[in-house]
């Protein structure tokens, strides 16, 4: 008798869906497709030669350790390199504050596992990172979704949801995924003070902070938390857990990220990580350390900034040239994405299908809302915010492809805009 697997799935798997983006990645493999859909780095800037040399060095000089099981917290020299690197951005973590994870995505999963009981509320931005929603959904999270604008999370709308006692806030201050916006300095201070006043911790997800193309670096929440609140005993206490990754600065295929937290939280997360994968690949950590050391990471980040700044500018220029004036978009100061807003009444899923026919892909905004973009704090129930947005990635396509892709996308958008105007007129 064959097993009825589906009847045996645990209750927490109910309602789980595959990531819209990972599904999309399959469709966009099609030849001739120009994709603004994924969050993929440019493969032409992967430092392949440096990786080849690092692999050779690790295997000839240190194979007995690099191919062995390792500590759950991670390879010490790599944790130290990360701590030193973060210190330059004001984040003064000690090695015992750093846990290496299998990408930031695992960090999000471990955080969900540590903090979320089914039915607990997590405060998120609207829109927010889809992968975080996916990670937290498994643990039965409910959401308080607070709108953001061009200056990031609307801190003026935070008090009521904070008073209702969410387990934590999940915030992306730098070059947000998906909106490309940056939380202003004033709002950063406000957020940290509110977190302290209401006793609600913050999970600060920062994969893009180093990829700034214009303007000054703004202090991380984890830094402000320490400074504003005069926490003088380092990261043994604090309201902020900070996450980052090598995915956008070295290569996402490494699957290497990290968590900065007080040591007792790191200890608990390490116990949970043991149940998941014992530790992140030792070999990968050794190789990443060899690649990143002696200032290579810094010089490589400089190169990436140049390449992506140019691509961002080409996309902004093409949007200006090809899109009709009723369409608006964000001007990201860094990161990989910008966020396009279409007039109300446009069917974004229909635009998406037309765009695919024209061989250009993006991610419809609906994917990035905790409640399908329909039930956010301060918005009416029938107001589907996500329905009129597109997330566009500018790191992966070449400048020529970006221009051509935006031209195709503009044609798809214009076709639907004229249809929705006809629909509106018929209604009137």
Ligand X SMILES: Cc1ncc(COP(=O)(O)O)c(C=O)c1O
Interface contacts to ligand X, rule CB under 6 A: 39, 103-105, 129, 131, 172, 177, 205, 207, 245, 247, 252, 257
- Rounded to whole angstroms, how far apart are CA atoms 136 and 142? 9
Q: What is the CA radius of gyration of the chain?
A: 22
Q: Residue 252 or residue 405: which is nearer to ligand X going by CB?
A: 252
Joined together, the tokens standing for residue 209 give 């902070």
Q: Give me the least distance between CB of 203 and ligand X, in Å please.
A: 10
Reading the block at residue 245, the tokens are 């990754």
The tokens describing 150, both together, are 């061009």
Nearer to ligand X, 245 or 284 (CB): 245
CB of 5 to ligand X, least distance (A): 28
Query: For residue 127, is the peptide bond before it cis, meaning its omega torsion is within 30 degrees of 0?
Result: yes
Closest separation in Å from C-beta 39 to ligand X: 4
356 neighbors 35 (Cβ within 8 angstroms): no
Q: Which residue in 318, 343, 346, 333 sits closest to 402, CA to CA?
A: 318
Q: Give me the torsion for CA of 98, 101, 104, 105, rounded to 10°.
A: -150
CA distance 312 to 331: 9
Name the residue with the smallest CB distance to ligand X. Answer: 103
Task: Give the nearest distance from C-beta 129 to ligand X in angstroms.
Answer: 4
- CB hemisphere CA count around 248 (13 angstroms): 28
Our CB check for ligand X shows the closer of 188 and 416 to be 188
Helix (H, G, I), strand (E, B) or coil at 121: strand
- Tell me how far, at minimum, the Cβ of 1 lies from ligand X, in Å: 40
**Closest separation in Å from C-beta 124 to ligand X:** 12
315/413 with CB nearer ligand X:
315
Look at residue 306 and give its three-state secondary structure: helix
Residue 131 vs 161, nearer CB to ligand X: 131
Nearer to ligand X, 143 or 323 (CB): 143
Contact, 307 vs 398, CB < 8 A? no
Taking the least distance from each CB to ligand X, the nearer of 203 and 318 is 203
Residue 6 CB partners (closer than 8 Å, separation 6+): none
Minimum distance between the CB of residue 179 and ligand X, rounded to whole angstroms?
11
């Amino acid at each position: 008798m064959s097993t009825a697997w589906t009847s045996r799935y645990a209750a927490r798997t109910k309602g789980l869906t595959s990531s819209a983006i990972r599904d999309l990645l399959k469709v966009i493999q099609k030849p001739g497709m120009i994709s603004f859909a994924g969050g993929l780095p440019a493969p032409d800037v992967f430092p392949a030669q440096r990786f080849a040399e690092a692999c050779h060095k690790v295997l000839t000089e240190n194979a007995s350790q690099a191919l062995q099981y390792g500590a759950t917290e991670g390879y010490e020299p790599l944790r130290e390199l990360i701590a030193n690197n973060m210190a330059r951005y004001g984040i003064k973590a000690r090695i015992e504050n750093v846990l290496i994870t299998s990408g930031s995505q695992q960090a999000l999963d471990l955080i969900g596992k540590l903090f979320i009981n089914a039915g607990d509320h997590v405060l998120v931005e609207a829109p927010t990172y889809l992968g975080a929603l996916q990670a937290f959904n498994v643990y039965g999270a409910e959401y308080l979704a607070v709108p953001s604008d061009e200056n990031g999370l609307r801190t003026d709308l935070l008090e009521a949801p904070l008073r209702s006692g969410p387990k934590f806030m999940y915030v992306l201050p730098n070059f947000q995924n998906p909106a490309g916006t940056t939380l202003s300095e004033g709002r950063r201070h406000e957020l940290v003070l509110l977190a302290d006043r209401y006793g609600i911790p913050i999970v600060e997800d920062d994969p893009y902070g180093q990829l700034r193309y214009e303007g000054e670096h703004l202090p991380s929440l984890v830094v402000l938390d320490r400074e504003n609140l005069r926490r003088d005993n380092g990261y043994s206490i604090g309201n902020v857990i900070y996450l980052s990754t090598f995915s956008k600065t070295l290569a996402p295929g490494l699957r290497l990220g990290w968590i900065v937290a007080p040591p007792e939280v790191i200890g608990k997360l390490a116990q949970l990580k043991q149940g998941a994968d014992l530790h992140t690949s030792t070999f990968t950590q050794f190789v990443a350390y060899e690649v990143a050391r002696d200032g290579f990471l810094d010089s490589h980040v400089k190169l990436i900034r140049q390449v992506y700044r140019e691509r961002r500018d080409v996309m902004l220029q093409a949007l200006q040239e090809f899109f009709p004036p009723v369409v608006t978009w964000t001007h990201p100061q860094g990161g990989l994405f910008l966020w396009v807003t279409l007039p109300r009444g446009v069917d974004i899923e229909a635009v998406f299908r037309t765009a695919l026919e024209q061989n250009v892909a993006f991610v419809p905004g609906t994917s990035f809302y905790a409640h399908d973009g329909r039930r956010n704090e301060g918005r009416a129930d029938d107001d589907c915010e996500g329905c009129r947005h597109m997330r566009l990635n500018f790191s992966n396509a070449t400048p020529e492809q970006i221009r051509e892709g935006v031209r195709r996308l503009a044609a798809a958008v214009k076709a639907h805009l004229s249809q929705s105007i006809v629909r509106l007129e018929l209604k009137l």
